[in-house]
Structure 1
Amino acid sequence: MPFSHPRVLPFRPAARLEGGEHGSSAAGGSDPVSVGRRVRHHRRRQGLTLADLATKVSLSGSALSLIENGRREARVSVLGEIARALGVEPAELLSGGPPTRRSSLEVRWEHAQRAPGFETLGIPAVRVGAGLPDDALEALVGLYETVVGLQQQRAATPEFARLANAELRALMREADNYFPEIEARAAELVRAVGHTRGPVTREAVHRIARHVGFEIRTVPDVPTSTRTVTDLSNRRVYLPSRGGHDPRAAALQALGHVVLGHRPPRDYAEFLAQRVEINYFAAAVLVPESSVVPELQRARQERDIAVEDLRDAYGVSYETAAHRFCNLATEHLGLRVHFMRTSRDGVIYKAYENDGVRFPMDASGAIEGARVCRSWTARVVFGRPVGEVYHQYTDTGRGTYWCTAVAEPTSAGPFSVSVGVPFDQVRWMRGRDTRERRVSGCPDPGCCTRPPAELARAWDGQVWPSARAHSHLLAVMPPGVFPGVDDTEVLRFVAGHATSADDHVAQ
């Protein structure tokens, strides 16, 4: 039967992700910075000091200061007391624009400094106090908005795709990257074909395909713009005989669209959500939850969790093992984790986190295509032999993280796959005794993105590099239903094979 919830990762606007736990807070969605500026405006108009108003409403001066600076969201009851003390209606604090031009500038600058990617612009943080002239504040706001405007203009074409990636990642974080409905569907199929232990074989995958009414065929001429092609009319999944990917995973991903009840994606956001779902489904079949969770729990008890053990025990790639660990780590082991797939030059292709690590990002909050710090495990591992498991501690501005990583060759060049946990959870991991340790100052440009001053002066204006474009990370939904696919080539392929007697069933 088709999956009853075709969009396990429904695409939602970012605004719907920001409610958090503040449903009972004062603003009910109002901006705490703007609310705080209105409180400050009315307090000063009444001639009250911070201490005066704090006494009237039974708050500490520091607590009231946090509210006025927008760093604490006051509850409705507290704002009601503040409004009575100031002789205004609560609605005057909750709604409307900033009360003065100065307040408007302060709100805009405060939002700017809290925006994702602000630190990467190289603009120093500036505290807005009474001594900062209005014209200086206006210049700061104007500078920031001009710089961001230019960035957005340069990113106009890929903007939607990058936002879709960022919002999908937020949904995955919200669910701790664990989706029980997909787990249940995968487990049902594994049981249906009688697989009980050990790696899932190709024959087991063929039995799964037959169970859902499909046949898997291997042919030499699968279009190069695709990994697989599914003929829904004749109930066939075509795999390429040229190899390159695990045929089990490729077949399961193709079947995942059918099992999960997908429809042709309406936009790039839905395309991304479906891709995450089929990858999850394939991994859940190849590394079944029912067998791997007890193994992970025993490894946790023995303080010997290792991603490479999943790779070896289930005959999957290191990347699949890393994904599967991240699916299950929070739900079943209580571990917060992060994951990255990174090219040799440090560009992020995939990433996930729920452990507070700060990925590099641009002003829009997107991380795909951003470059990780040279001190991070994901890049240091490229200095090690290919396939060697490398462990490292990295001290960052948000704390210390332990990571394990492997660099592997691919047709597109070497990539690293890294998995990490915060320092307070490393006691469960194999490799925690490593003495490898580095310090990362990113996103401060002075850490590793800005050249040393002497070197920059010596070569100022003398070098013009030609950048390698990671266009597949930035492309928006092109004409046709499926991004990057040559529709004509695919349809000719399917039509040709629909009546061919030369296809052979994969073994």
Structure 2
Amino acid sequence: MDVLLVGRHLRARRRAVGWTLEELGAKVGMAPSQLSMFENGRREPRLSQLDALADALGLAVADLLVPDAPDARTAMELELDRYQRQPLYAELHLPTVPPTRALPQPVLESLVGLHRELRRRAEQAIATPEEARRANTELRLWLRSRDNHLPEFEQAAADLLAVVDHRTGALKHHDVGRMAKHLGFSLIHVNDLPHSTRSVIDLENGRIYLPPASIPGGHGLRALALQAMAHRVLGHTEPRDYAEFLRQRLEINYFAAACLMPQEASVAFLRAAKDRRDLAIEDFRDAFGVTHEAAALRLMNLATVHLGLPVHFLRVRDDGAIQKAYENDGLPLPADVSGSVEGQLVHPAWAARAAFERTNRTTEFYQFTDTPAGTYWCSTQTGTSATEEFSITVGVRFADSKWFRGADTAGRADARVSGAPRSAEEAALVEHWRGKAWPSARLHAHVLAPLPAGTFPGVDDEEVYRFLEVHASR
């Protein structure tokens, strides 16, 4: 519900019938001050109150919920209100201007015009990777709308696991090979995979080519093989655009995770841990022989639907930039004007960044964090890839922390203030050095990269075809 829009519909109808706030209040048994707050969007009416107001004004409740503004002036007021509630404006730390009837029309038009230009320039600044970022944002929001749970892929994974009668524990490499054979494929490990690929499927000869080595624990090769098989199981065709390519990537990752950590066994394990108030990613990870990140993502898939726990997941680089993020617990993720969170810096006080400051990183780091949206409990584990350090975080709202190991932590941080300096000392520091510093920035290669060409984004088609031609005859 857009509270301000509903309020404006109320005001327009009340004035159309010629009633004052006092007259309408007398008919529905509400104080004029309360009605004024409804009309100005400062309080959300309950459904029963909406029903009473609509009845008194000769309307249906649906008439108060239509998405169109009642007049052009109201449309501009709503537009100004929406602009001022977006992160782009919040980053400026400027006061908001209430979009009331007292605001002169020329001033309203000027403010809306400035906001439109501000947004246009922000959108222009992200134009190069815009298609991919927007598609990825839409995919993240779609997944959130489903509580990060995709039952159709859970069932597809269960059906394939039934072929090898796997129910719980670590999925064996041998069983992954049997699953591939059931689908008409053999797994081949080679040293010369094309640089832009993680695996290659030879549809003509029924082969899946994989790298020769794996990360510790064997999770890497099993996951890669299962992801490749997922394309066949899920009926994927060549992606028509970047959005479909990203959607397929999400689906094969989900499918592979559902095979490595079957839903029935995973839920049983997690429910038992919750009953003991001892939920822990490290235990979940070890029970199924996967990576910490895989276990954290899998918990996110299952926690809301099966445990009643809204959660958030973060993968953050050591510089504080988000690489991957999902949430359905209201965590206020930083976002750019397009709604994308990848590349945005999380608050320095968040556990995802604070964990890098620890000397001992062998165990999970627990912390309560106060944010503008409330207090959250987080469990963070740091790791190292070939090129960088990163952290994996799973967190829940304060009220749900009681189910997790580490909920008794004394660690707490305040992340309610961010952005521009707040203290006089910080403001003076910025004023002194503004225009006098010239750092040499570390440029990430993807910043200047256009959208990759080819049938599969980022993959050199000819390199793949040469690879298949060489191996097809062996």
TM-score when scaled to structure 2? Answer: 0.89
> More displaced, 392-401 or 262-271?
262-271
Q: Deviations over 1:465-484 (max 9, x none)?
A: 34444564896743222121
1:292 aligns with 266
Cα distance in structure 2, aligned partners of 1:74 and 1:291:
42
Cα distance in structure 1, aligned partners of 2:380 and 2:348:
14
Q: Deviations over 1:174-226 (max 9, x none)?
A: 11111112111212222211334421111111111111111111100001111
Aligned to 2:356, the other structure's residue is in SS state helix
In 2 relative to 1, CA 251–271 (structure 1 residues): closer, same or farther, beyond 3 Å?
same
Pick one of 359, 377, 381 that aligns with 1:406. 381
The CA deviation at 1:146 is 1.8
1:323 aligns with 297
Contact kept in structure 2, 1:117 and 1:365, CA below 8 Å? no
Aligned to 2:349, the other structure's residue is in SS state coil
Cα distance in structure 2, aligned partners of 1:252 and 1:273:
16
1:481 equivalenced with 2:455 (yes/no) = yes
The CA deviation at 1:412 is 2.7
Gaps of 5+ in 1: 1-21, 23-30, 501-507
The CA deviation at 1:282 is 0.9
Cα distance in structure 1, aligned partners of 2:261 and 2:71:
58
Show the 5 A alignment for 1:222-301.
222-241=193-212, 243=214, 246-301=220-275
- The residue identity in structure 2 corresponding to 1:260 is L
Cα distance in structure 2, aligned partners of 1:351 and 1:375:
17
Contact kept in structure 1, 2:421 and 2:427, CA below 8 Å? no
1:423 equivalenced with 2:395 (yes/no) = no
Pick one of 155, 160, 165 that aligns with 1:184. 155
Contact kept in structure 1, 2:40 and 2:100, CA below 8 Å? no
2:353 aligns with 379
Give percent identity, aligned residues only. 46
Cα distance in structure 2, aligned partners of 1:473 and 1:232:
34
Q: Deviations over 1:418-440 (max 9, x none)?
A: 00011101111001111111000
Aligned to 2:306, the other structure's residue is in SS state helix
Contact kept in structure 1, 2:129 and 2:451, CA below 8 Å? no
Cα distance in structure 2, aligned partners of 1:342 and 1:95:
37
Give runs of ≥4 in structure 1 deviating > 6 Å.
73-76, 90-93, 473-476
The CA deviation at 1:81 is 4.0
Pick one of 165, 171, 190 that aligns with 1:219. 190
Aligned to 2:162, the other structure's residue is in SS state helix
In 2 relative to 1, CA 167–222 (structure 1 residues): closer, same or farther, beyond 3 Å?
same
Larger relative CO (CA 8 A, sep 6+): 1 or 2?
1
1:495 equivalenced with 2:469 (yes/no) = yes
Gaps of 5+ in 2: none
The CA deviation at 1:253 is 1.0
Q: Deviations over 1:404-454 (max 9, x none)?
A: 011100023011110001110111100111111100025554479x99222
- The residue identity in structure 1 corresponding to 2:247 is A
2:95 aligns with 124
2:285 aligns with 311
Q: Deviations over 1:100-136 (max 9, x none)?
A: 54x3432221121234544234332222345544444
What is the RMSD of the two structures over their aligned residues, measured on CA atoms? Answer: 3.0
Pick one of 307, 320, 335 that aligns with 1:333. 307
Aligned to 1:192, the other structure's residue is in SS state coil
Cα distance in structure 2, aligned partners of 1:257 and 1:192:
18
1:461 equivalenced with 2:435 (yes/no) = yes
Contact kept in structure 2, 1:339 and 1:418, CA below 8 Å? yes
Cα distance in structure 2, aligned partners of 1:130 and 1:164:
38
Contact kept in structure 1, 2:317 and 2:389, CA below 8 Å? yes
1:99 aligns with 71
TM-score when scaled to structure 1? Answer: 0.83
Show the 5 A alignment for 1:440-451.
440-442=415-417, 444-446=419-421
> More displaced, 490-499 or 438-447?
438-447
